[in-house]
């Protein structure tokens, strides 16, 4: 039997947004301290006995979210055209990290990305295999 490792790293950004096509207070401009987490999976450890260094995963995550920090998300691509919901933010971050796959060791894949607007809420995005 072979096992699978999953490593996770998180980062955060502070931003404001307003939800389009939404009736309620979140249609108005408001802000959050967004917490983003990403997970990688794989079964083979590298020569240093790590799947991927936590610092490397965190740097990739920070690179993707940097354009959002202290911004009005409705004015930042791709949210100029799509509503900056946590669901859309999670999918965008997942797709951006997936595009960085060549940086990852062979056999390591992006499992999921989560986005939290508060301690009580979280969206997880993963692609079906």
66 is catalytic: no
State the catalytic residue, choosing from 17, 32, 37, 117.
117
Give one DSSP letter per residue of 59-119, joined into a string: HHHHHHHGGGTTEEGGGSTTTTTS---HHHHHHHHHHHHHTTGGGSPTT-EEEEEEEEEET
81 is catalytic: no
State the catalytic residue, choosing from 26, 30, 63, 75.
26
| Interstrand relation of 71-72 and 109-118 (parallel, antiparallel or unpaired) | unpaired
Which of 7, 15, 3 lies closest to 89, judged by CA? 15
Facing residues of 36 across strands?
A: 11, 115
The alpha carbon torsion through 9, 30, 66, 87 (nearest 10 deg) reads 50
State the catalytic residue, choosing from 23, 55, 70, 81.
70
Number of neighbours of residue 78 by Cβ within 10 angstroms:
13
70 is catalytic: yes
Catalytic residues: 26, 70, 117
């Amino acid at each position: 039997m072979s096992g699978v490792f999953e490593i996770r790293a998180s980062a955060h950004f502070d931003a404001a947004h307003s939800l389009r096509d939404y009736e309620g207070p979140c249609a108005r401009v408001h802000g959050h301290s967004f917490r983003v987490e990403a997970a990688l999976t794989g079964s083979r450890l590298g020569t240093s006995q790590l799947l991927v260094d936590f610092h490397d995963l965190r740097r990739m995550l920070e690179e993707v979210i940097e354009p959002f920090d202290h911004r009005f998300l409705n004015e930042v691509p791709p949210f100029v055209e799509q509503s900056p919901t946590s669901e859309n933010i999670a999918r965008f971050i997942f797709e951006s990290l997936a595009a960085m796959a060549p940086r990852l060791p062979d056999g390591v894949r992006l499992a999921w990305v989560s986005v939290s607007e508060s301690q009580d809420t979280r969206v997880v995005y993963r692609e079906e295999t």
